[in-house]
Chain A
Amino acid sequence: DIQMTQSPSSLSASVGDRVTITCRAGQDIDNYLAWYQQKPGRIPNLLIYASSTLQPGVPSRFSGRKSGTEFTLTISSLQPEDVATYYCQKYDSAPFTFGPGTKVDIK
């Protein structure tokens, strides 16, 4: 099975900071990579699919990029409502493995 790694596992940043989370796939998954935001007690909320396509309704401060098997989620200007855990997920084929998550909070 293809393993998904994420870094960092947690980060603390100030409001307005640029924040980047990295997800790496163990092998080529083309651009079949999604990013979710999850707040405590809530179901995951899809932010980005196809590595860089923003889900409608998601603020434009969120963006995604792909470089080989490395994917990044960037929040251009961190807002208090962005405090959450962020997960990547591969969806090229089963198993649709999630990354271990990155917890983001405000400094």
Chain B
Amino acid sequence: QVQLVQSGAEVRKPGASVTVSCKALGYRFIGYQIHWVRQAPGQGLEWMGWINPDGGGTSYAQRFQGRVTMTRDSSTSTVYMQLSRLTSDDTAVYFCARRREFQLLPGHWGQGALVIVSS
């Protein structure tokens, strides 16, 4: 069955960068875009961007432009989300989610990865 397995929790200092990975299992990796969504403590869902594993094309939300980079490694069926110049406002759970069959919206979600930014 479709599974997205994310990397573990991370702690970073302000100004640093963090990379979260998302390994796809149980389906044809290059056939489905992967969304990245984050949720700060007690806050709402925020769409960050997505990547097309077939070719690596990306689209980022405007507020993350210049600070986020999404990449993929087809040999390991893994996508990566790197966020740089971290501030405490970036403390959040970061989710990857594969798009649904025949639709663009997120369908299968990873378990989430907590990133804490603290000095």
Which residues of A are in contact with B by a Cβ distance under 8 Å? 1, 32, 34, 36, 38, 43-44, 46, 49, 85, 87, 89, 91-101
Residues of A within 8 A of B46 (CB): 98
B45 and A98: CB pair below 8 A? yes
Query: Given contacts A94-B50, A95-B59, A95-B61, are A100 and B44 in contact (CB under 8 A)?
Result: yes
Describe B's contact surface by its main secondary structure.
strand
A97 and B62: CB pair below 8 A? no
Residues of B within 8 A of A43 (CB): 95, 109, 111-112
B105 in complex: contacting residue of A1, A49, A100, A101, CB < 8 Å: A49
Complex Cα spacing A87 to B47, Å: 12
9 A–B pairs (Cβ distance < 8 Å), ordered by A: A43-B111, A44-B109, A89-B45, A89-B106, A94-B50, A95-B61, A96-B50, A97-B47, A100-B44
Contacts A32-B105, A43-B109, A96-B35 supplied; 9 other A-B pairs, CB < 8 Å: A1-B62, A46-B107, A89-B106, A91-B104, A91-B105, A95-B59, A95-B61, A96-B50, A100-B44
Residues of B within 8 A of A91 (CB): 103-105
Describe A's contact surface by its main secondary structure.
loop
Query: From A38, which residue of chain B is reached at the shortest CB distance?
Result: B45
Inter-chain contact count A-B, CB under 8 Å?
56
A87 and B45: CB pair below 8 A? yes
Complex Cα spacing A32 to B42, Å: 27
Distance between A31 CB and nearest chain B CB, rounded to angstroms: 11
B103 and A49: CB pair below 8 A? yes
Complex Cα spacing A101 to B43, Å: 9
